[in-house]
Structure 1
Amino acid sequence: MQRIEVVRGQGALQYGPQFGGMVNYILRNGSEISKPFEFETQQTVGSNRLFNSYNAIGGNSARVHYYAFFDHRNGDGWRQNSRYYTNAGFGTVTYRFTPRFSLSAELMRSNIRSQQPGGLTDLQFEQDAQQSLRSRNWFDITWTMPALTANWQINPSTRWATKLSATLGDRNSVGFTRAINIADTINRTTLQYNNRVLNGDFYRNYVLESRIITDYKLLGRNHTISGGIRAYTGNTHRLAEGRGTTGTDYTMELATGGRYDRDINFGSQNLAAYVENIFRISDKFILIPGVRYEWLRGEASGRIGYKANGQDSLLQNVARSRSFLLAGIGAEFHVTKTTEFYGSFAQAYRPIQFANLQAPAATTDIIDQDLQDSKGYNIDLGYRGKVKNYLQFDVSGFVLQYDNRVGTRSFAAVPGVSPAYRLVTNLGSSLSKGFEGYVEINPVRAFRRNSNWGLIVFGSYSYLDARYSSSFKDSIIAGKRVENAPEAIFRGGISAGYKGFLLTGQISHTGLTFSDATNTTAIATNGQSGPIPAYTITDLSASFKATRSLTLKAGINNVFDKRYFTRRAGGYPGPGVLPADGRTAFFSIGARF
């Protein structure tokens, strides 16, 4: 990655209607390269036979900029039965027809294959978190993502960009995914393992996005307006619950006479438009209103199973359309040139797609067929900025109202009637409110302008009170904490350096969470429901810039080898507790020429 962008508040309406804003992962594209040719390599080895090789070339001239990389990673994984490899290639070329107009083409392709060790019960996790009771489960993903982007500086104050892109992907899994307390054993009659279950999704998605931004004058002040449109069409072809082979390696081959119980097509279309304006009311006060319009259409058709007579049980061909308008507004008051108060209000919307209306194959989760779209809003107010070159901070309070929230309820087994299961449904409304704070200080810079020594102390803390405020499904949920929402999260540490050497230690703490909306405290025998305990881990990393072109890096993750988990799965790749990695270490050498 080159960098990660976080866009919140009304600004996030430019990119979609989702709750909480947007996280944008930007791939490395060699934008910092200024010479005609540059080669970069980084080789990493680590625990559990980790090997990672990253190699890239790039260059820049008066008219052409190019960059390409290939990244390979493989390892055995910390747990048993968790081998994996990834291969990713990326290339981009930009041609500048004029100083104001350029066209960029890029292509990303990746393949990930990993053995899935499956979940554990809580007792098994306590006994040995590295153990695995599943040796025949595999996961394979292939993505191809082409894109073509045109950038036009129409005049000194107006910029326009249009991007045409596609996502062509396959997501396959094969395995024995019954509850983890059901052993995957050899059948005494056939002397073979039981047949595995096959599932495959095939994604074909296409997007056109066009954005324009321009500066203008009004009442003697400079203002900025931006707008854009987005058109999307996509299809997901889902083959599920196929009868696979009795083998152990990765294969999507059907068993002799085998078939897929489900064969469904999910189609969706989306048209969206947004506009946002920056009004500079005064030298210190800025007002930023925005609005977004969305139109959605989803449809589903295909086979959802077989009847007793062997005939297809067809999903009724359904299509659902809806449209909505979202608004938001933000404000900034600049106390000094480098510090400001800020606040925002933004409406949010989470549509339920038809894919959500079908329970994933090989899972104990059950999907409520009457799921409704979620709606709500978020508000935040804070103070952020820098003090000279030694202090940076951001503190804020927030409120998020989430109506028609989708979550899970756990139901205990009824002997002779039904097994234990989790229901995915609209649980009601939730209200989340809390505080977020971040501070980073360099005490050396505070007292000395120039020094070969460096010291940075940093920390972030969030407090979250997220609870269901009402429930039209079951009053027992009202007042309960939202699942997978820890009350406290802390990250803090120290970076110390001398000339080209830098050493960083970080402590991370995450508070207790619940895995379902009923805040079940009793631990299920299959590990699928119950609390997720709090955990604290420590990481240590170091880097040394030996020369202008040579860098060495090393690190230890989870220094004290803590045992913890962050998820209880109801389906693939579990079910059950999914342990996080224990202590691991790596060493890396990188060079640029």
Structure 2
Amino acid sequence: MRSSLFFMAMLLCSSMMAQSLKINGLVKDADQKAVDQVVVSLSKVNLNAITDQNGAFEFKGLDSGNYVLIVRSVNYKHYQTQIQLKGDTTLQIVLVERTVQLAEVEVMAEEGTFGIRKLRGVEDGGLYEGKKTEVVAVDQILANKSTNNSRQIFNRIPSLNIWESDAAGLQLEIGGRGLSPKRTTNFNVRQNGYDISADPLGYPESYYTPPSQAVKQIEVVRGAGALQYGSQFGGLVNFRMKESEPNQPFSFRSENSLGSFGFFNSFNSFSGSHKDINYYSYLQYKRGNGFRDNSGFEQIGAFANLNYQPSERLKVSFDYTFMHYLSQQAGGLTDEQFYKDPEFSNRSRNYFKVDWNLMALRLEYELNDHFTLYNRAFGLIANRSSLGLLETPNLEDPMSNRDLIEGNFNNLGNETRLLWQYEGFKGLQNSALLGVRLYRGTTNFRQGFGSADSDADFSRVDTAFLDRQTSDYDFPNLNVAVFLEQIIRLSPRVSLVPGLRYEHILTEADGYYTTSLRTNSFGDFIVEENPTNNSQSRNILLYGLGTSIKLNEKLELYANATSNYRAINFTDIQIQTNTQVVDPDIDDESGYSFDIGLRKMEFKSLYFEGGFFYILYDNRIGEVIDDGLRLRTNIGAAEIYGFELYAELELISLFKEDSEHRFSIFYNGSINRGEYTNINDRALVGVRDGNRLEDMPNYNVKTGFTYANKRFTASLQGTFVGLQFSDAANTVTPFNGIFGPIPSYQVFDFTTSYLIRPAIRCEFSINNFTNESYFTRRATAYPGPGIIPAQPRVFNFNLIFQI
């Protein structure tokens, strides 16, 4: 299979060289003055150029065909034109100045050759001045996108700890700076600016991950994002979906992938525009057998985006997202089982199913030259169901009735933002953002019994004669938030960014759980229902202050301090398992986040950003072993700190700016430390002051290089992650595969791409090509419990064509 895939890749990537043409031009303003340092992009071939001091740019070695050329600048409105290339073409481009100006020193190349940039000070209804931000240009990077390979897609984001729990990227699991990666619960996860997790307040787990083939860019804002995006510690992860190219009536793109272990992915997108209306949609089908027995999966996804823009000032958008998948879960392993055979499975009856329906209506209205209104209304109707055995992996499956846990999510929310751009001190441009958020979510969780069969039958079975626990809970949640943040420019180079956020949070629990009471020595019992009806209301004030200092036209020093808060999830408290108990006095988490860093503001031959972070965490929630069971409780206070560095160098452009070849090397690394400083009484059974934080490797490095010319691109990446603990007690001797250290590991990925002709491209990937045997996670429940092995060496071939 692997050799045939390689042969197909080489066969399809061989093609006759077509005619070599070029597009060049000059970019000027309305006064016919040259505009330098703006980004000129050419679609389909994903090429970028930056205008020189004369406003000139050039693309060489192009084939005949249709292209879309886009010019982007902070101080000018975006320019876009279609080109039907039949011969060498020269363009004269005149940019229109924006009515509202940013500070002069903010001018920078938005997207260079590296596929990453920072968010601008004011962008798409958000304020990001003085914050630690990254934007991954997904449509420009080279990665195995058919499997949503997080190691490659997020390879330039420092300190991200990634769990690799499935073979197809069905769920994104990233954390960072000592925060658990579990279904990305410590980030506020959004798509086009609206929430996509199950219940952002009561159950913030992300079961749906947008396919990277449909994503234009991923925006990441660290802890200071709490003021605009909620009270979590991690910050924001926002997936910005692709849209149709203007003035293009119809476009079709198909990406079809074959890979190891029966992997197949077909991603097909449709887009077009007519007058004031444009649309983008996709259909996706994905399946595979998995590298372990009992680990097959099947996914179906769809997305539709419709935009209506009757004028430059008004844009209305509607999004609908559908996703369904069914995966068989091979279960976790003990340490002995993993080191003997990481592909082993003794769970043949575990399944996980997700159905997702997500809708959003977005409005952007420029009221006048100073005020812009942003409104996002969204709703979710979704379900997740797990079926199987939740016993530790050292126990064989008794082939009895399986545990069935069903979660149903019905949510409605609205977030409205008003951006005010006004003249401040010495005529400098200031910005103020006022926002209001209303959210109502109702989550229902039921735990009972499924069939004793081996298929994916999620029907509920009445097994009252069994001595096992059940529960049925409704969790209504209400959130009202008001936030205000400002950019106050003290000079063209110095700005202050103060902010406040008020949160009203109401969480409720209404339902019951059962316990069994023995009635005699023969084992007879009666089932007793324990009703619960409680609510908890909080009123929280978050605050923060940031600053940005432009040391010169190329260097920026930034710093920020923000308070954080994270409410407990009632849904975590009442799910009953035979391996876990929950402290009834478990409480909310709170703390502070600090960042200080230095970054280069232009993305030319060299880009770098380095900085320190510090997080003060109070009442951190974790798990310890108590009387042989996993106890979930507030461990205590913790301090987390570290140094992060990202740097990338484009070697060839140092010596020849107009070369058709690119060769860049990058380094993304962090040194992290975190320890508990004040242990709560209930956690003293296993945790001591000075214990290291769980889910925090002491180092986390990704490095590699990329070579590219007009047709061919190749990338090699190495990932190096240090030892980390899976529990707050820093268990050294593994316990049933659930607790114990996660050893350091290293893994290498290789991806190459070849443009056969403007409409046809092929890609070939080898992930983990040294066939490293490692794991990133010890699961305490699904998809385990136990060690979840990472994938061995896998091959993937992808063929892309577009009309």
Q: Secondary structure at the match of 1:529?
A: coil
Comparing 362-371 and 437-446, the one that deviates more: 362-371
Number of the residue aligned with 2:788 = 578
Matching of residues 40-59 of structure 1 within 5 Å: 40-59=253-272
Alignment pair present for 1:481 and 2:689: no
Alignment pair present for 1:500 and 2:708: no
**8 Å contact from structure 1 (residues 503, 543) kept in 2:** yes
Q: C-alpha separation between the residues in 2 aligned to 1:43 and 1:430?
A: 47
Number of the residue aligned with 2:513 = 304
Question: Residue by residue, what CA displacement relative to the aligned partner does 1:54-77 show, whole Å, maximum 9, x if unpaired?
Answer: 111111232101111011110001
**8 Å contact from structure 2 (residues 245, 272) kept in 1:** no
Number of the residue aligned with 2:559 = 343
User: Out of 752, 759, 772, which is 1:542 matched to?
Assistant: 752
Distance 1:458 1:467, change over 3 A: same
User: Out of 466, 470, 473, which is 2:678 matched to?
Assistant: 470
Q: Secondary structure at the match of 1:223?
A: strand
Alignment pair present for 1:273 and 2:482: yes
**8 Å contact from structure 1 (residues 363, 572) kept in 2:** no
Distance 1:238 1:505, change over 3 A: same
User: Out of 367, 391, 397, which is 1:154 matched to?
Assistant: 367
Matching of residues 257-296 of structure 1 within 5 Å: 257=463, 261-296=470-505
Alignment pair present for 1:364 and 2:567: no
Number of the residue aligned with 2:449 = 243
Number of the residue aligned with 1:592 = 802
User: Out of 205, 215, 225, which is 2:411 matched to?
Assistant: 205
Q: C-alpha separation between the residues in 1 aligned to 2:516 and 2:629?
A: 24
Q: In structure 1, what residue type is equivalent to 2:748?
A: T
Alignment pair present for 1:327 and 2:557: no
Q: In structure 1, what residue type is equivalent to 2:770?
A: F
Q: Provide the identity percentage.
A: 33
Q: Secondary structure at the match of 1:355?
A: helix
Alignment pair present for 1:79 and 2:287: no
Number of the residue aligned with 1:15 = 229
Could you tell me how far 1:536 is from its partner in structure 2?
A: 0.4
Q: In structure 1, what residue type is equivalent to 2:712?
A: F
Could you tell me how far 1:257 is from its partner in structure 2?
A: 4.8
User: Out of 527, 532, 541, which is 1:316 matched to?
Assistant: 532
Q: C-alpha separation between the residues in 2 aligned to 1:38 and 1:195?
A: 50
**8 Å contact from structure 1 (residues 400, 433) kept in 2:** yes
Q: Secondary structure at the match of 2:367?
A: strand
Q: Secondary structure at the match of 1:254?
A: coil
Number of the residue aligned with 2:217 = 3
Q: C-alpha separation between the residues in 2 aligned to 1:556 and 1:33?
A: 36
Q: In structure 1, what residue type is equivalent to 2:457?
A: T
Q: Secondary structure at the match of 1:581?
A: coil
Matching of residues 75-224 of structure 1 within 5 Å: 75-185=288-398, 193-219=399-425, 220-224=427-431
Alignment pair present for 1:24 and 2:24: no
Alignment pair present for 1:402 and 2:636: no
Q: Secondary structure at the match of 2:514?
A: strand
The two structures have a TM-score, normalised by structure 2, of 0.70
Distance 1:386 1:161, change over 3 A: closer
**8 Å contact from structure 2 (residues 261, 290) kept in 1:** yes
Could you tell me how far 1:177 is from its partner in structure 2?
A: 2.0
Alignment pair present for 1:520 and 2:731: yes
**8 Å contact from structure 1 (residues 49, 76) kept in 2:** yes
Distance 1:8 1:255, change over 3 A: closer
Q: C-alpha separation between the residues in 2 aligned to 1:539 and 1:307?
A: 52
Q: In structure 2, what residue type is equivalent to 1:194?
A: S
Q: In structure 2, what residue type is equivalent to 1:528?
A: I
Could you tell me how far 1:31 is from its partner in structure 2?
A: 4.4
After superposition, the CA RMSD in angstroms is 1.6
Could you tell me how far 1:158 is from its partner in structure 2?
A: 1.8
**8 Å contact from structure 1 (residues 143, 167) kept in 2:** yes
**8 Å contact from structure 1 (residues 9, 328) kept in 2:** no
Q: In structure 1, what residue type is equivalent to 2:404?
A: L
Q: C-alpha separation between the residues in 2 aligned to 1:440 and 1:154?
A: 41
**8 Å contact from structure 1 (residues 380, 399) kept in 2:** yes
**8 Å contact from structure 1 (residues 145, 166) kept in 2:** yes
Could you tell me how far 1:386 is from its partner in structure 2?
A: 4.4
Q: C-alpha separation between the residues in 1 aligned to 2:605 and 2:293?
A: 46
Q: C-alpha separation between the residues in 2 aligned to 1:237 and 1:256?
A: 19
**8 Å contact from structure 2 (residues 414, 438) kept in 1:** yes
Q: C-alpha separation between the residues in 2 aligned to 1:12 and 1:518?
A: 29
Q: Secondary structure at the match of 1:81?
A: coil
Number of the residue aligned with 1:530 = 740
Distance 1:466 1:257, change over 3 A: closer
Number of the residue aligned with 1:429 = 637
Number of the residue aligned with 1:415 = none
Q: Secondary structure at the match of 2:571?
A: helix
Comparing 442-451 and 12-21, the one that deviates more: 12-21
**8 Å contact from structure 2 (residues 580, 629) kept in 1:** yes
Q: C-alpha separation between the residues in 1 aligned to 2:702 and 2:387?
A: 37
Number of the residue aligned with 1:230 = 437
Matching of residues 450-469 of structure 1 within 5 Å: 450-469=658-677
Could you tell me how far 1:23 is from its partner in structure 2?
A: 1.5
**8 Å contact from structure 1 (residues 519, 530) kept in 2:** yes
Q: Going by fraction, where is strand more abundant, 1 or 2?
A: 1
Number of the residue aligned with 1:447 = 655
Q: In structure 1, what residue type is equivalent to 2:672?
A: L
Q: C-alpha separation between the residues in 1 aligned to 2:429 and 2:709?
A: 45
Q: C-alpha separation between the residues in 1 aligned to 2:305 and 2:494?
A: 40
Q: C-alpha separation between the residues in 1 aligned to 2:647 and 2:462?
A: 62
The two structures have a TM-score, normalised by structure 1, of 0.94
**8 Å contact from structure 2 (residues 445, 571) kept in 1:** no
**8 Å contact from structure 1 (residues 9, 330) kept in 2:** no
Q: C-alpha separation between the residues in 2 aligned to 1:543 and 1:258?
A: 58
Alignment pair present for 1:384 and 2:599: yes
Q: C-alpha separation between the residues in 2 aligned to 1:315 and 1:439?
A: 56
Number of the residue aligned with 2:67 = none
Could you tell me how far 1:497 is from its partner in structure 2?
A: 2.0
* Unpaired stretches in structure 2, ≥5 consecutive residues: 1-214, 518-524
Comparing 110-119 and 573-582, the one that deviates more: 573-582
Could you tell me how far 1:423 is from its partner in structure 2?
A: 1.0
Comparing 34-43 and 500-509, the one that deviates more: 34-43
Tell me how many residue pairs correspond in the alignment: 575
**8 Å contact from structure 1 (residues 362, 572) kept in 2:** no
Comparing 133-142 and 7-16, the one that deviates more: 7-16
Comparing 30-39 and 51-60, the one that deviates more: 30-39
Question: Residue by residue, what CA displacement relative to the aligned partner does 1:323-376 show, whole Å, maximum 9, x if unpaired?
Answer: 110011111111222320111111100111322322x34451211111111110
Q: In structure 2, what residue type is equivalent to 1:22?
A: L
Q: C-alpha separation between the residues in 1 aligned to 2:301 and 2:578?
A: 30
**8 Å contact from structure 1 (residues 291, 328) kept in 2:** yes
User: Out of 346, 353, 377, which is 2:569 matched to?
Assistant: 353
Distance 1:101 1:499, change over 3 A: closer
Could you tell me how far 1:95 is from its partner in structure 2?
A: 1.5
Distance 1:121 1:283, change over 3 A: same
**8 Å contact from structure 2 (residues 767, 794) kept in 1:** yes
